[in-house]
Every structure is written in C-alpha cells, then in structure tokens.
Structure 1
Amino acid sequence: MNIKPSTSIRQDYNGFSKYCHELDEPVILTRNGEADLVVMSHETFGRMEARNRLQAKLLVTEKQVAEGAELMNHDDVIETIRRKINVAKEKN
C-alpha cells in the first residue's frame, strides 16, 4: 500500500504526478495522519475500469451458465466476432 501525506502533492505536484505514473497503482493521501483520498494516474484508472467491466460481464456469464443457458460453439462465436468487426470497419 502506497501512502503519502497530502503535503507531497501540494509541495511538488510534478514530482507527485511522476511518482503516480511510475508506480502504476493507487496512492493513498493522508490529512492529519488519517487516510483522506486515493489518487492514481489516468492510465491506471482506465485499466482498473476495464478490469471492473470485464469482471462484471464474467459474473453475468457465470450466472447464465449456472442457470443452464445454452452455450455457443467455438465456430459460431468466432463468426459472430468477425461479423461485428466487419460492421465496425464499415462504419469507419
């Protein structure tokens, strides 16, 4: 866990920003010795959000399988993906 006092961001924003980018994980900022904020680079936040979205989709899928939903075979999955890629290419 990475903990820094809030003064570190106030005294040297550029240095703190560089630290967050190099660390590539959240940093807890404290105020008066107590945890106050969590800060991370925009890139780290984007990856975290993507993982959260993927995890949510996987949970839905696991529930569907547990409830007996019919599964697609591999060839059908690949064909569906190719169709979606082609449609996206046509739009651009």
Structure 2
Amino acid sequence: MVNTNRTIRPVSDLRNNFADVSRTVHETGEPVFLTKNGFGDMVVLSMEAYESLRFDSRVYDMLLEGEREAETTGERFSPKEALAAMRTAIDGAARV
C-alpha cells in the first residue's frame, strides 16, 4: 500500500527548521518534499530510507534482467536453484 499523506514543506525549512525536518524523516521513514516558489524542488530522506530504496531498486533491476534473459534463452532453473541464486545475490548486495 502506498502512503498518500505526503509531507510537503517550503525549502526554507531546511534552514529555519532543520531539526524538525530531520526528525520527521527519521521518525516516519518517509520523505519530506520541499517546494521552492510553490513548485516541487527536492526530496529529503533519511539515510536508512535512501539505502532501502536503492536496495529495492537493485533487486527490481535484477528481476527484470532475469525476465529478459528468460525470454532469450532456453535455460531454466529449478525452484531450489533459483532460491539459492537469489540468496547469494541478496547476501552480496547487502554487503555493498
């Protein structure tokens, strides 16, 4: 389920209310969207949330790569082989 309750603040809050912005991203794990002159300008995330997004993106990219490879090759793996390969990939990604 996607959180539709976004925290939107003016970019000036980085200077004037940095501690509050920082507390918000750390306590909620959600981004704070910053605006400049009424338009979206940037997003602030905690390091933990950012790393989680990067990890999810890498896993998604690997799955897409696997789907493309499956379309172009006749090679198939058993569920046991696939699970072992995923565990190896996840362990390697977690060390990065």
Tell me the TM-score normalized by structure 1.
0.73
Could you tell me which runs of 5 or more consecutive residues in structure 2 were left unpaired when the two chains were aligned. Answer: 1-5
Structure 2 residue identity aligned to 1:33: G
Which of 10, 14, 17 is matched with 1:5 structurally?
Answer: 10
Which of 56, 66, 76 is matched with 1:61 structurally?
Answer: 66
**Structure 1 residue 68: Cα displacement:** 3.4
- Kindly name which structure, 1 or 2, has the bigger radius of gyration based on alpha carbons: 1
Alignment pair present for 1:18 and 2:18: no
Percent identity reads 29
Structure 2 residue identity aligned to 1:41: S
**Structure 1 residue 55: Cα displacement:** 0.5
| Residues 54, 77 of structure 1: alpha-carbon distance in 2 compared, 3 angstrom cutoff | closer
**Structure 1 residue 69: Cα displacement:** 3.6
Alignment pair present for 1:70 and 2:75: yes
How far, CA to CA, are the matches of 2:24 and 2:67 in structure 1?
A: 38
How far, CA to CA, are the matches of 1:66 and 1:57 in structure 2?
A: 14
Q: Is the 8 A contact 2:14 2:21 kept in 1?
A: yes
Could you tell me which runs of 5 or more consecutive residues in structure 1 were left unpaired when the two chains were aligned. Answer: none
Runs of 4+ in 1 over 3 A off after TM superposition: 74-82
User: Cα RMSD over matched residues?
Assistant: 2.5
